[in-house]
Homo-oligomer: A and B are copies of this chain.
């Protein structure tokens, strides 16, 4: 059980902006031993299903470096390897960022947020949302500074955190060891004004599948 942290205490958290030299926006986040790089790319076209509607899109990709985990995780290169977990997380990041973005203000553009996990010790999906929001903000600011768009499309900041019940106690920001013992597991994404954007809770007991 958690000893060195209060139950509602976060692990040490650092964010470094502009981590990558060639990306439109980027951020590196460390929360405990969990380390994620988020990079934002601006594409000058909307996805096919939005064509001609004058609005843009924000989407995300998520991957883990093979050596980011205790046991090497295979690259999701071959079909069948693109796991449901990855898809689920990518969709969560994308929805979270779109929920706080004025897509019309973005114009017919797509912002792709690449979240790559360098090291995984629990909470990678919420760390990815948080760092992804910073990277997106910086890319959008660049568009604004260059007068390509008229107003900031990002209406709120979003950040995420995990919550779980371990041995009957509610814990904030679970590391991997805690997460493996949690009876209930919840990820919460909120805006800077306190609005809930995504809530995902599951009561499945953990069954030794490694990554969660």
Contact = CB atoms under 8 A, between A and B. Distances in A.
Interface of A: 20-23, 26, 33, 37, 39-41, 43, 49-50, 53, 55, 57, 61, 63, 65-70, 72, 75-80, 82-85, 87-88, 90-91, 95-96, 98-99, 103, 112, 114, 116, 118-120, 195-205, 207-210
Given A197-B202, A203-B196, A37 B76 contact: no
A67 B98 contact: no
A78 B75 contact: no
8 contacts: A20-B67, A22-B70, A78-B79, A95-B204, A99-B205, A116-B116, A197-B203, A199-B199
A198 B201 contact: yes
A119 B21 contact: yes
A106 to B, nearest CB: 12
Given A200-B199, A203-B196, A207-B98, A33 B50 contact: no
A50 B114 contact: no
Given A55-B207, A98-B207, 16 more contacts: A20-B68, A22-B70, A22-B120, A41-B66, A57-B207, A66-B114, A72-B112, A76-B77, A82-B82, A84-B88, A116-B116, A195-B203, A196-B203, A198-B202, A198-B203, A200-B200
A69 B50 CA distance: 19
A83 B55 CA distance: 23
Nearest to A210: B49
Contact of A37 (B53, B65, B78, B90): B65
Contacts of A85: 91
Contact of A20 (B63, B119, B205): B119
A41 to B, nearest CB: 4
A75 B75 CA distance: 11
A65 B88 contact: no
Given A84-B91, A91-B88, A199-B200, A103 B207 contact: yes
Contacts of A66: 39, 41, 61, 112, 114
